[in-house]
Amino acid sequence: MVVRGVYPGRFQPIHWGHVNVIRWALEKVDELVIVIGTAQESHTIANPFTAGERVVMVREALKDAKVDLSRVYIIPVPDILMNVVWVKYVAMYVPPFRFGVARNPLVVRLFKEAGYEVLIPPAYSREVYSSTRIRSMMIMGDERWRELVPPSTTKFIDEIKGVERIREIAGRD
């Protein structure tokens, strides 16, 4: 039987910290389901990219990192505003799984309460690799954000004029 894990995140955008967690998780499971959370939201400061854009960024970032894509699913899931049933809701969208992969205390608790085992990855320089920080750098015009994400992510964000989008949303055009 295939041992599968679920790694939820918003990936706004995906960065090297996320990629390291994915690599780590793939050492523990046969297949990993990457859940693109808050799939219904885009064009906000917290969630500037669409679910489809994030699917492309995650897939291309994993190619950059030489991750075996045959072992990965990338599935967008819209939010549900009821934490107690969130894991069961996610389970409706994804293939059957054994493990949740998370560091967030609430998410860890929700997986456990739903009867799943939890894999808690190491913190990969969270003070450096933070999507919130990366978006802030974009808004402020700090080009060093490009070093924190895989090359394909930079290229894709440039192609869709993502920095322009987030700066306009933030009123910093």
String of DSSP letters for 96-138: --SEEE--SHHHHHHHHHTT-EEE------TTTS-HHHHHHHH
CATH at residue 154: 3.40.50.620
Instruction: For residue 44, give both structure tokens.
Output: 């906000």
Rounded (10°) CA dihedral 73, 76, 80, 84: 10
Confidence of residue 77 (pLDDT cuts 50, 70, 90): very high
Confidence of residue 33 (pLDDT cuts 50, 70, 90): very high
Q: What is the pLDDT of residue 173?
A: 63
Axis-axis angle for helices 16-26, 51-64 (nearest 10) = 70
Confidence of residue 128 (pLDDT cuts 50, 70, 90): confident
Global confidence as pTM:
0.95
Is pLDDT at 44 greater than 90 in this prediction?
Answer: yes
Tally of domains within the chain:
1
Q: Please name the residues in contact with 165: beta carbons below 8 A apart, sequence gap of 6 or more.
A: 43, 48
Is pLDDT at 125 greater than 80 in this prediction?
Answer: yes
Q: What range defines the domain where residue 140 resides?
A: 4-169
Instruction: For residue 161, give both structure tokens.
Output: 């004029």
